[in-house]
């Protein structure tokens, strides 16, 4: 495992890359390239600046930027200083940032200057008075406020720190030390800070790299944010660990993504399903070759079967399906390059090496045999080493005797392949029957006029809850809600047939590519109360009623 023992810490990962592949391209960014040697040097001077500012081992440093190359520089620089990185999503609002910085006890923050839709300095200006522990803020761009330190000023201050001081800090950093705290986005309550070690992340990145057969000749597109574990572990860390280049995108756009693949010869494309859905639409216009694209990872949300097949057959990309969560560093199971198209499209693969996975009864927590649905739990090196930051009681709920309870429902077949059947908290109880949205979504998405779909439960005075489907028609197609209900009737169980169907232009998607189901529930409730949508009865049931057969 690993090319060299020096790769056991995040700082060691970039130091080793600079020695083994000094002149190879580490980052493609617009019209310039950054080599591994240059990346190591840039992160070193950044680390010296952070140390000069008083940051010590174990201190927390927030990182709040878009996918600039400097995000990568800061990532390795903070790690080299022995500090703990606290990534923040660029779409966060001031209240969310205040909570995370205060809860994590961050002593410093790294941001970029204002962009058209996001003004980081202005947002910090409004909350910094509440962050007594925040000692300094470094900005990529113009330091136009007295409390800001420019990137150049930080580097200048770091000139007082010697190489020997940095070497001493490096010797004190161990692979099982804290590396980052990533606050998971929650739909209820405040986010929880997942604490991972260097070993958690580097080992997971290495194993995923093995599944992809990633090597120095590869170039990995980065359409997902570096603030997400998908971005910082499965792209940033993986690429430097394996000597591959990475091509970050400042903002995701399907057309731009396909253009970058052709321009820079991208070979590996990670992304969430929504990205691939939109890229397939764009690709079908016939303007792209994608000749260099060989594989990728689709993860982060349920993967529609038709989308997986489209990427495999049309884009000619041998896409792998990954499953996991931040608490698991993040990948638990994954398909392999040798799996059939059917396996890729219908399963989440097998556990990575060093990870045990069980399916447990949700009530008794007893081990279930193949073919039976239960909660997915895992154990191994991937489970968050330190639990949730400052939340021991929450940690005890999620990790029991070393087993991480994912909250996801699934099955395993006789060949050891796992599949997701739903999420326990998303379950809808219709008149006492348990209904799982994932099963309904997988059926509706096969309708030829449907591009995207999401299913939630809405309150009902007779049955307690009923199923509601939100459908996005495919390009150029109109669709009648009655069609969706009839498409489901007699194919899936009666309790699973949608009673309400809303046709919208787009689903509310988070920056991490997941559908905001709580937003859908709110929207549907408003539409029902306003009479914009009403209950739909299957056509066959109407006919039977008319004929007196009901």
φ/ψ of residue 53, rounded to 5: -80, -5
φ/ψ of residue 137, rounded to 5: -130, 125
CA atoms within 13 A on the CB side of 415: 8
φ/ψ of residue 181, rounded to 5: -125, 115
Can you give the pLDDT at residue 189?
58
DSSP 461-497: TTTEEEEEEEEEEPTT----HHHHHHHHBTTB-GGGS
349/371 Cα distance (integer angstroms): 15
> Where do the structural domains in the chain lie, given as residue ranges?
1-197, 427-546
50/45 Cα distance (integer angstroms): 9
The alpha carbon of 491 is separated from its chain's Cα centroid by a whole number of angstroms, namely 33
Q: Are 233 and 225 in contact (CB under 8 A)?
A: no
Nearest to 210 by CA among 188, 241, 187, 183: 241
Residue 214 contacts by C-beta under 8 Å, 6 or more apart in sequence? 220, 238, 239, 242, 244, 268
- Looking at residue 229, what DSSP letter applies? H
CA atoms within 13 A on the CB side of 346: 9
Can you give the pLDDT at residue 384?
98
Strand partners, 270: 297
Global confidence as pTM: 0.87
Strand partners, 420: 410
CB atoms within 10 A of CB 453: 24
φ/ψ of residue 217, rounded to 5: -80, -5
Q: What angle do CA 423, 196, 19 make, to 5 degrees?
A: 125
- The correct answer on CATH 3.30.300.30 for the domain covering 427-546 is yes
Can you give the pLDDT at residue 187?
43
302/348 Cα distance (integer angstroms): 10
Q: Helix or strand or coil: residue 194?
A: strand
108/134 Cα distance (integer angstroms): 5
Q: What angle do CA 394, 417, 3 make, to 5 degrees?
A: 75
Q: What is the pLDDT along the chain (550 residues), one digit of tens a residue?
A: 788 899 999 999 999 999 999 999 999 999 999 999 999 999 999 999 999 999 999 999 999 999 999 999 999 999 999 999 999 999 888 988 999 999 999 999 999 999 888 999 999 999 999 999 999 999 999 999 999 999 999 999 999 999 999 999 999 999 999 999 999 865 445 789 999 999 999 999 999 999 999 999 999 999 999 999 999 999 999 999 999 999 999 989 999 999 999 999 999 999 988 899 899 999 999 899 999 999 999 997 777 788 899 999 999 999 999 999 999 999 999 999 999 988 998 999 999 999 999 999 999 999 999 999 999 999 999 999 999 999 999 999 999 999 999 999 999 999 999 999 888 878 898 887 778 898 899 899 999 999 999 999 999 888 889 999 999 998 888 999 999 999 999 788 888 999 999 999 999 988 777 788 889 999 999 999 999 999 999 998 888 888 766 5
Can you give the pLDDT at residue 347?
95
Strand partners, 29: 32
270/247 Cα distance (integer angstroms): 11
CATH fold of 1-197 reads Rossmann fold (3.40.50)
405/30 Cα distance (integer angstroms): 42
């Amino acid at each position: 495992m690993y090319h060299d023992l020096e790769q056991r810490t995040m700082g060691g990962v970039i130091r080793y890359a600079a020695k083994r592949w000094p002149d190879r391209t580490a980052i493609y960014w617009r019209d310039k390239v950054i080599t591994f040697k240059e990346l190591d040097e840039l992160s070193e001077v950044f680390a010296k600046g952070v140390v000069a500012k008083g940051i010590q081992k174990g201190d927390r440093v927030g990182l709040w930027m878009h996918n600039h190359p400097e995000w990568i520089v800061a990532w390795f620089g903070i790690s080299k200083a022995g500090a703990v990185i606290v990534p923040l999503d660029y779409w966060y609002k001031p209240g969310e940032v205040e909570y995370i910085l205060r809860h994590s006890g961050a002593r410093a923050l790294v941001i970029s200057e204002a962009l058209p839709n996001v003004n980081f300095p202005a947002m910090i200006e409004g909350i910094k008075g509440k962050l007594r522990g925040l000692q300094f803020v470094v900005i990529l761009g113009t330091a136009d406020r007295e409390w800001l330190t420019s990137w150049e000023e930080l580097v200048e201050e770091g000139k007082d720190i010697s190489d020997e001081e940095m070497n001493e800090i490096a010797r004190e950093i161990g692979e099982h030390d804290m590396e980052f705290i990533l606050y998971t986005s929650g739909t209820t309550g405040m986010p929880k800070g997942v604490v991972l070690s260097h070993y958690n992340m580097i080992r997971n990145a290495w194993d995923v790299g093995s599944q992809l057969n990633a090597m120095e000749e590869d170039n990995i597109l980065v359409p997902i944010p570096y603030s997400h574990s998908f971005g910082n572990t499965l792209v940033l860390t993986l690429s430097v660990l394996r000597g591959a280049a990475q091509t970050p995108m400042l903002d995701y756009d399907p057309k731009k993504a396909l253009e970058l693949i052709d321009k820079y010869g991208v070979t590996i494309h990670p992304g969430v399903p929504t990205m691939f859905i939109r890229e397939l639409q764009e690709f079908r216009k016939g303007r792209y070759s994608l000749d260099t694209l060989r594989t990728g990872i689709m993860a982060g949300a349920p993967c529609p079967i038709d989308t997986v097949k489209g990427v495999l057959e049309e884009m000619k990309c041998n896409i792998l399906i990954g499953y996991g969560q931040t608490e698991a560093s993040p990948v638990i199971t994954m398909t392999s390059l040798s799996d059939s198209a059917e396996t890729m499209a219908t399963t989440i693969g097998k556990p990575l090496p060093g990870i045990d996975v069980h399916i447990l009864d949700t009530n008794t927590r007893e081990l279930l045999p193949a073919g039976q649905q239960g909660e997915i739990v895992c154990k191994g090196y991937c489970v968050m080493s330190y639990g949730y930051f400052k939340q021991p009681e929450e940690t005890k709920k999620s990790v029991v005797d070393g087993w991480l309870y994912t909250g996801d429902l699934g099955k395993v077949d006789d060949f050891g392949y796992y599949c997701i059947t739903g999420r326990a908290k998303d379950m809808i109880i219709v008149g006492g029957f348990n209904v799982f949205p994932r099963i309904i979504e997988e059926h509706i998405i096969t309708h030829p006029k449907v591009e995207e779909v999401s299913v939630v439960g809405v309150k009902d005075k007779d049955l307690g809850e009923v199923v509601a489907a939100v459908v996005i028609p495919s390009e150029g197609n109109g669709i009648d809600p009655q069609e969706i209900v009839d498409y489901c009737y007699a194919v899936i169980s009666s309790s699973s047939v949608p009673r309400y169907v809303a046709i919208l232009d787009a689903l509310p998607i988070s920056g991490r590519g997941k559908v905001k189901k709580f937003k859908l529930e709110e929207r549907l409730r408003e539409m029902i109360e306003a009479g914009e949508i009403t209950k739909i009865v299957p056509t066959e049931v109407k006919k039977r009623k008319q004929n007196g057969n009901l």
